Structure 1
Amino acid sequence: MIVFLIIGGVGVALLLLFLVVGDLLDGLFDFAGDLLSGAGLAGLLGAFGFVGALILGLSDSLGWAIGGGIVAGVLVGLGAGWLSLRLRRGGDHSTVRTPALVGRQAVVINPIPTDGYGEVRIVAAGQITKLNARSVEPIEAGASVYITAVLSATAVSVARLNHGRS
């Protein structure tokens, strides 16, 4: 049982190592095309060791302990590798890009004068974003507007959503 617990402890130690200095070791323990990464290897060892020790303690069968540890280790290792891969490759799908805001509705939070900038708030991809805004006419705070053009990464041009209302 001690051997299983040591293997599980090595898995936990590797996981802590990858959490602390993961960027420095990135790619060192990548196998099978990023699917079984360092986190996956740590999960495999940890699950193999601790599940093997648990089965050995319950059944006193070394064969069952090794088999159960291998199954648990492979499942946890592949799961950790898959999650690690998703985290590394994900994130760009919901990132708000300023050009994608054209045509979307926003609310004026600081009045927009004719000759200067005000501020609008827009909810895009679940995130509240504040942008500087210009308009050809003055628009008061609280008015609904739509974005007509992107002036810069932090500024847009807007127009009233309902021209008939003040």
Structure 2
Amino acid sequence: MAWFFGLGITGVVLLALSLVFDGVLDGVLDGWLPLPDVAGFVAATGFGGVLATEVLDVGPVVATGCGAGLGAGAAWLTYRFGRALTHDRTAAAPRGTDLVGTSGNVVTAIPADGFGEVLLRLAGQPVKLAARSTAPVARGTEVWVEAAPTATSVVVRPVDR
């Protein structure tokens, strides 16, 4: 039973190392199997052998077979879960050009020949950006974004109401 505990603990240590070093140790197996899959197999084989020995009261050969079966299942689940996580596609990240046509407020007055600051909402989050305008705009004025020339600046005009 001590061998099975050793395998289980070794698998847990391998899993911890694969998480801490985040893919650095994946090259150990030449890309054949990801290290978390191997760690899952080793840990489940060891702890499955312990369970088979204690619960089923079987010998080491049968316990090894039970542990290997459980280990193969754990490795397969780890592999499928890892693939699902790495192939997960989320919505597109918001971009500066998504600001065009939105409204905001001036937080630092915009001079006619320089930059001020505006507070806008991008994907529901407040964003403070540098802003230019063709005419001076006072602090607190509501403005519309006409263009986003860079990721950190916008061109605005006052809202006519």
TM-score w.r.t. structure 1 length?
0.69
Q: Alpha carbons of 1:124 and 1:71: their partners in 2 closer, same or farther (altered >3 Å)? A: same
Partner of 1:7: 7
Partner of 2:113: 115
Measure the CA separation in 2 of the matches of 1:27 and 1:142. Answer: 57
**Higher Cα Rg, which structure:** 2
Measure the CA separation in 1 of the matches of 2:131 and 2:75. Answer: 55
Report SS of the residue matched to 2:93: coil
The number of residues matched between the two structures is: 155
Measure the CA separation in 1 of the matches of 2:23 and 2:34. Answer: 12
**Residue deviations 1:23-67 (CA, integer Å, cap 9, x gap):** 533554434xxxx63333333433443344345433334254443
Aligned CA RMSD, in angstroms, stands at: 3.0
Measure the CA separation in 2 of the matches of 1:55 and 1:108. Answer: 70
Superposition map of 1:73-92 within 5 A: 73-83=75-85, 85-86=86-87
Measure the CA separation in 2 of the matches of 1:142 and 1:56. Answer: 74
Same amino acid, percent of matched pairs: 36
Q: Alpha carbons of 1:26 and 1:66: their partners in 2 closer, same or farther (altered >3 Å)? A: closer
2:37 to 30, 40, 46: 40
Q: Is the 8 A contact 1:43 1:77 kept in 2?
A: no
Aligned-residue offset at 1:21: 2.9
Measure the CA separation in 2 of the matches of 1:143 and 1:2. Answer: 74
Q: Which runs of 5+ in 1 are unaligned?
A: none
Q: Which runs of 5+ in 2 are unaligned?
A: none
Q: Alpha carbons of 1:27 and 1:65: their partners in 2 closer, same or farther (altered >3 Å)? A: closer
Q: Is the 8 A contact 2:43 2:71 kept in 1?
A: no
TM-score w.r.t. structure 2 length?
0.71
